[in-house]
Structure 1
Amino acid sequence: MGERHYLVGTAGHVDHGKTELIRALSGMDTDRLKEEKQRGISIELGFAHMLLPSGRQVGMIDVPGHERFVRQMLAGASGMDVVLLVIAADEGIMPQTQEHIDILTLLGIPRGIVVINKADLVDDEWLDLMDEEIHNKLKDTAFNQAQICRVSAVTGQGIDDLRDIIDNLLSEVESKKSIGPVRMPIDRVFSIQGFGTVVTGTLHSGTIELGQELAIEPSNLLSKVRSLQVYNKKVNFAGAGQRVAVNLAGVDVSEVVRGSVLVKPKVFKVGNILDLKVTNLTTAEKPLVQRQRVRFHIGTTEILGRLHLLEHKEINPGGEGFAQILLEEPVLAAPGDRFVLRFYSPTFTIAGGKVLDVAELKLKRFKESVLAQLKIKDQGDPLDLLEREMDEPRAAKDLANRLHVNLDDLAENLKSLEEQERLEIWSEDDVALYWAKKDAETWREKLIKVVKTNEQEFPLRGGISREELKTRLGILWSHRRWQMILEQGSARKFYKISGSKVQTNEGAQIPLSIMKGLNDLRSLWQTVKLMPPELSSAAEKCGIGKADIQEYAGYLCDQGEWVFISGFYFKSEDIQEAKQNLIGLLGLKGEVGVAEVRELWETSRKYTVPLLEYFDQQRVTQRKGDKRILGKI
């Protein structure tokens, strides 16, 4: 599945030591601006990286804590996998701490750790009181189950423990998808002399490669990737979850603004109207009202817009409802994206929620059919719902019945999934079968693991039989579908098929001890010609276990070195020589008996008779009474 990449970030009130904490964890200073160093506070996003005890290398993002720079905080928080909520031991939870908590809750950040910093400035009794206060204030927030870690970024107290906690927490977090289309919100834009425009951000999905054509949205600027850096090192590709610097060709720095998104062209929608599920904060002082002007934050973007409430006349604190946002500028968005709403003036966080879709039209309020469609979208992105139904190969008709949709709508969604590289198309008797890419890849990994394990256990069997493999995988498909999918997988070079056996592309690695036994059998058969011994006696002579000798013989037959005839194993070369000699004798005499053939082959009747019957079956010869004549080959 490839290496996983994660992003750890900070949040919290100004001057609670977020930047110092990042420096203590990573050894890197994230304050890069002259003004930041002079004032001792972060103004822009800061970036670092560190190696955790497990060997994970994670990106780190330091966000400003001052209320004037919440926009920058929002831009950084959107890509975090784990957030460190930093609270100074000598001050406790402050107003900006609370707003950051609200923002992180609205963005749905999956995991958090509460870090009580500056523990060196207070005594243990005070820290215990601080623990209790924090627990009480966070019990109704997304951080109610978060672990609390006491540290001092200055003295290093608790820093190693914090690294371990981060490491353990990341093992529970699902990494971002590298198999989907490229999507990277841009949080920095600058120019380097001799190289041109560089954009940076956290890659939310997909893989960026050198030379790849990408688009900058919502401006629809096309560009090619000239070079890539991850953690200040040049790379040929970058995966989802990594902090990436992309050098773009053919784009001027003035054309790219922070808040744009670097994406695979023609995949994501751009528009001025978004369908939303909105949640008003329980801490909000007022309800959300129709046509309220707000600041809309998504990814690294901030755009002004007006709320268009569809379900309620107003949304009270703690309430939620369906709405649209009518934006003053276009934005790129996708179903499932999280957003935050801030009051227009003065600016403070009031609400947030989930994007349901990019809409073409302003919808009518309080209309049942409109609300019904929004409820369906709220249950999940239609593409996600369809993807979940394709956990195995299914025909379009089957999918339409499962989802209760018409085939035309289904075809449009299938096309979208194909364009986003989330879909594989297989077939059964010329009927297209649709399979979610992630499920198909998981299935193949399981299949190859079973085949590989079988090769390791039984290296001489030449693979695992198709039917045994089907049983091991627990496949319930029809026999025909199983066979056709299996054959197509081989044609796509995921594995190999040899007759009835499935093999890995690399094939079995035969241990030296077994190879010695094979070579001993080969040497023995060089001397026996057309009078091969019984397998049991051959096993004894070659030091092979009697229970294993059949595997050895089967392997040599599969390799074409031996031929099995009526209970005897003959060397293929000897059979060919016997065949040519027999044809030559028949050419001279016209017909021959068993005794003449036995004398020709210098063997006994015990082997001559079954060999002649074998050649009869091969139509090399034809029996005529007690004699043989040439057959019709």
Structure 2
Amino acid sequence: MIITLAGHVDHGKTAIVKALTGVDTDRLAEEQARGLTIDLGFAYTDFDGHRIGFVDVPGHHSFIHNMIAGVARMQHALLTVAADDGIMPQTEEHLQILQLLGLDGGTVVLNKVDNADENQLQRVETQLRDVLKQTFLRDAPIIKASAKTGLGISTLQKTLTDAASRMKRVPCSRAFRLPIDRVFSRQGLGTIVTGTVHDGEVNVGDDLYLSAIQKNVRVRRLIANGLPSQIARTGDRCGLQIAGVNTNEISRGDWLREPDTVNTSEAMTLQFELAVGFPREIKKWCHVHVYHGTAHRLGKLFLLDETLDHGTKGLVDISVDTPLHTAIGDRVIIRDQGLDTTIGGGTVIATTGANTRRRFPARIKHLTDTSESVNRTEPKQALIAACLMNCVDGEIFRKQWNLSQTQFNAVVDRNSIQQVNNRLLAKSKLDTTRKQVTSVLDEYHSVSPNQFGLSLRQLVKKTSLEEESVRFTLIHGRNIGLFQVQGGQFASARRAKVELSYNKDLYNRILPLIDTQQPLPIGDIARELRVPLRILESELKRMIKARLFVRVTDKRIFSENRLRELVDIAQALDESGPFTVKQFRDRCGMGRMICIDVLEHFDKVRFTQRELDTRRVVGTYAP
């Protein structure tokens, strides 16, 4: 069990740890000279067979950022209050931060009882009970002790031992992540980083990814809760000797994680709780300090609700000056830049970029529904809930929830969710959408028997359904023979076949000009065939409608067969991860600008998605 200390400056947190473990956690010379904890300190001991770790945090207001960096949600809180002082400002703020970070268990120690008479002790204990009754420590034992004389230390030790025996290990249901709180080097060992394992587990020999500098490293040696080990799991204090990086490349706030999991983001949405006693009304925009894991950023907060009362929850958007490594379900602390006071905290429910239509009703409804599923903290239930609302990009969901590919595959309930490539939709939602789309198409075919069908946009408008759900339904329906697609239009497979006429001689003359590694643009085709551009464009419309050609830009067409070959190339490249324009060009042999035209067409029809200089396949190709 890992215990995090909390409490006002000079209330004896460091002394309590020393009385319990014999270790002075004030390791810095300045701390020892001033008698003041400035940064995090650590100590380990064994109580009746239970390994106990202590994270000592600074109590001074000036070092609140270091205090937040030392707290993890799976820790046991040890709130320390001096009997001669009673409740002080940082007592309340530390308690508030622990509550907002989601800690659910703890012990209270009333220290320095040798400095207070019985009346003072009763007053402070009554005061404590009143403050604690609305917090996660409302039922916590209050142990009277003195680190100086040793009074009550054995009782405190037994209380913590009992808590350790009751604590259950958090299951490792997500990919490994560790927020780094210290980095140093040791002769003969090299670079060492420490932190509390946030998710998952890590083993000696694992390859990890350092998010800040986007670099792969390998675990050479591992210390878990102060002892050499082969493995560390969620909640463990962990020291990792890593190869492949120097200490000057790492700093507090960086994350070590399993490769190809969580992305970084400059924006997030929180289910936010306003701290009781915050002295100001939150404005539309306010400048804030953002604390996540061991990281600290400057940012802005945007309130999505009209108002937010103290102690109540609402939705807020957060943008930060430097990207954060957030996953859905993470806890975040927000403090006011001007007042240097805690505004509140929240749970991450979305990690995508800032939305220009922040208060758009559909977005608010989606976020509200998402927050309810996030509260269940289980990705399986959250995925089902999301798939009942709309089509879900599986790759985005996987990374937002910090899941490995194997973990994600286990999360997908094949009995209730239909999957097409990386897209997922609840089968019940698919059935409902299919019935509405089929009804609209059947009505259209009866009214316009000589027309092929309707476009995606037309179907979305006529059904009043979500575009992604309709797109998924059409692609899935095409794959199983329920729908036909031609020139970007969709039709029911039951419709009577319409013969589309076109100039077959002209088609046969165009084909060799575009089915090459250097296909000609439309203007050059007109000149090569000595056909007026106006006439060529008119004939091309017929051929495109007949699904012989696909227009990828205003100036360029491809044959359906050639485009399918390029689709296969993109899918083959994607099997090894995101791919670049150069990789695509080298595989297909076309010029760079032609490749860019094709890939941008793939982006437009949502077959691929661009991420900086790379692309990944995110859907099924349907022109």
Cα displacement (A) at 1:407: 6.5
Aligned partner of 2:407 in structure 1 is: 421
Any conservation in 2 of the 1:311–1:365 contact (CA below 8 Å)?
Answer: no
Distance 1:427 1:254, change over 3 A: closer
1:421-477 deviation line (CA, Å, top 9, x unaligned)? 365499999x999xxxxxxxxxxxxxxxxxxxxxxxxxxxxxxxxxxxxxxxxxxxx
2:201 to 201, 207, 212: 207
Distance 1:10 1:412, change over 3 A: closer
**What does 1:142-153 align with in structure 2 at a 5 Å threshold?**
142-153=136-147
Distance 1:72 1:412 in 2: 32
Q: Does 1:92 align with 2:79?
A: no
1:7 to 2, 22, 26: 2
Distance 1:317 1:411, change over 3 A: closer
Q: Does 1:39 align with 2:23?
A: no
Aligned partner of 1:333 in structure 2 is: 326
- Identity over aligned residues, as a percent? 34
Cα displacement (A) at 1:409: 4.6
Cα displacement (A) at 1:193: 2.8
**What does 1:541-620 align with in structure 2 at a 5 Å threshold?**
none
Distance 1:198 1:344, change over 3 A: same
Any conservation in 2 of the 1:182–1:208 contact (CA below 8 Å)?
Answer: yes
**What does 1:386-535 align with in structure 2 at a 5 Å threshold?**
386-388=379-381, 404-405=388-389, 409=393, 413=397, 417=403, 419=405, 421=407, 423-424=409-410
Distance 1:346 1:8 in 2: 29
**What does 1:17-416 align with in structure 2 at a 5 Å threshold?**
17-53=12-48, 55-178=49-172, 180-312=174-306, 314-381=307-374, 384-388=377-381, 404-405=388-389, 409=393, 413=397
Distance 1:147 1:44 in 2: 28
Distance 1:41 1:96 in 2: 14
Distance 2:395 2:308 in 1: 37
Aligned residues: CA RMSD: 2.9
Distance 1:319 1:424 in 2: 35
Distance 1:157 1:114 in 2: 15
Distance 1:9 1:333 in 2: 22
1:301-354 deviation line (CA, Å, top 9, x unaligned)? 110001122222x43433432111111000001111111111113422121111
Which residue identity does 1:58 align to in structure 2? I
Matched residues, number: 416
Which residue identity does 2:388 align to in structure 1? H
Cα displacement (A) at 1:264: 0.5
Distance 1:274 1:411 in 2: 18
Cα displacement (A) at 1:104: 1.1
TM-score when scaled to structure 2?
0.62
Cα displacement (A) at 1:388: 4.1
Cα displacement (A) at 1:245: 1.0
1:157-196 deviation line (CA, Å, top 9, x unaligned)? 1112112222333444442333531111100011223322
Any conservation in 1 of the 2:175–2:404 contact (CA below 8 Å)?
Answer: no
Which residue identity does 2:132 align to in structure 1? L
Cα displacement (A) at 1:126: 2.8
Which residue identity does 1:215 align to in structure 2? Y
Distance 1:320 1:32, change over 3 A: same
Which residue identity does 2:241 align to in structure 1? N
Any conservation in 2 of the 1:209–1:238 contact (CA below 8 Å)?
Answer: yes
Structure exhibiting the larger radius of gyration computed from Cα positions: 1
Cα displacement (A) at 1:357: 1.8
Runs of 4+ in 1 over 6 A off after TM superposition: 425-429
Distance 1:137 1:215, change over 3 A: same
Distance 1:383 1:407 in 2: 20
Cα displacement (A) at 1:113: 1.4
Distance 2:225 2:293 in 1: 21
Distance 1:212 1:110, change over 3 A: same
- Structure 2: which 5+ runs fail to align? 420-623
Give 3-state SS (helix, strand or coil) of 2:100's partner: helix
Which residue identity does 1:39 align to in structure 2? R
Distance 1:233 1:409, change over 3 A: closer
